[in-house]
């Protein structure tokens, strides 16, 4: 008969406590929080306001060359919805504990929950409003996208086998892909 010594139990408890302390104050929820939803909504609202203002302004030609392209891209960022990806994650990672591996995963997951919720909502609405042929095509596209996302986001695990960065890279990939898919589906409205 094997007798477990109390020091093992104590050691496991100590490790769990240290992991819990290393995570940021706002650990990853299982669903989007109202505060995180509000941050993404505020960012998207600002982007839309900027786009409306720019649409009313004078159109300027882009300066030629790489420097001109980068300057134009930086200016365009204020009007691109994709610029809101990271609105929750980046400030969260700047909080105490947010730069640890567990902290990064928690912060990224917090924001992914917001985008995942948006994606599911807009997908359900699109299916409900679509004629049967379009609904089938949307369902097929969404299923293919889910497979692509899973395979694409597994690449860091292969590329960085055994590294602690695998978790944050996988979570970041899932966030980015989910947010972009939500924005794409929302643009169809």
pLDDT > 90: percent of the chain: 61
pLDDT one-digit tens code per residue, 104-154: 999 999 999 999 999 999 999 999 999 999 999 999 999 999 999 999 999
Domain-embedded: residue 10: no
- At residue 29, the pLDDT reads 58
In this structure, is residue 21 part of a structural domain? no
Average pLDDT, the chain: 84
- Tell me which of 156 and 9 has the higher pLDDT: 156
In a domain, 149, yes or no: yes
Range of the domain at 153: 32-55+67-187
Residue 26 has pLDDT above 70, yes or no: no
Whether 108 is in a domain gets the answer yes
How large is the average pLDDT for residues 51-57?
83
User: For the range 17-25, what are the long-range contacts, defined as Cβ-Cβ under 8 Å and sequence gap of 24 or more?
Assistant: 19/102, 21/97, 22/97, 22/100, 22/102, 22/103, 23/97, 23/100, 23/102, 23/103, 23/106, 24/92, 24/93, 24/95, 24/96, 24/97, 24/98, 24/103, 24/106, 24/107, 25/95, 25/96, 25/97
Would 37 be classed as within a structural domain? Answer: yes
Evaluate whether residue 120 is within a structural domain: yes
In a domain, 157, yes or no: yes
Query: pLDDT per residue over 59-82, tens digit each?
Result: 777 788 888 888 888 888 888 999
Q: What is the pLDDT of residue 154?
A: 94
Q: Kindly report which listed range (1-15, 87-101, 135-149) carries the lowest average pLDDT score.
A: 1-15
Residue 5 lies in a domain: no
Q: What is the pTM of this model?
A: 0.80
- The owner of tokens 């649409």 is 55
What's the domain count of the chain? 1
Q: Which residue has the higher pLDDT, 2 or 155?
A: 155
How much is the pLDDT for 30? 67
């Amino acid at each position: 008969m094997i007798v477990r010594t109390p020091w093992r139990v104590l050691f496991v408890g100590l490790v769990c406590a240290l992991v819990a302390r290393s995570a940021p104050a706002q650990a990853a929820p299982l669903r989007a929080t109202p505060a995180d939803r509000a941050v993404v909504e505020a960012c998207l609202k600002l982007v839309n306001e900027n786009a409306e203002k720019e649409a009313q302004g004078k159109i300027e030609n882009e300066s030629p060359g790489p420097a001109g392209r980068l300057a134009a891209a930086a200016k365009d960022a204020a009007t691109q919805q994709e610029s809101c990806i990271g609105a929750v994650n980046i400030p969260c990672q700047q909080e105490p504990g947010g730069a640890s591996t567990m902290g990064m995963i928690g912060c990224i997951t917090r924001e992914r929950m917001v985008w995942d919720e948006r994606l599911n909502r807009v997908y359900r609405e699109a299916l409900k409003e679509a004629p049967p042929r379009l609904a089938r095509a949307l369902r097929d596209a969404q299923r293919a996208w889910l497979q692509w996302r899973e395979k694409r986001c597994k690449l860091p695990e292969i590329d960085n086998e055994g590294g602690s960065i695998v978790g944050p890279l996988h979570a970041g990939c899932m966030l980015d892909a989910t947010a972009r898919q939500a924005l794409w589906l929302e643009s169809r409205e």
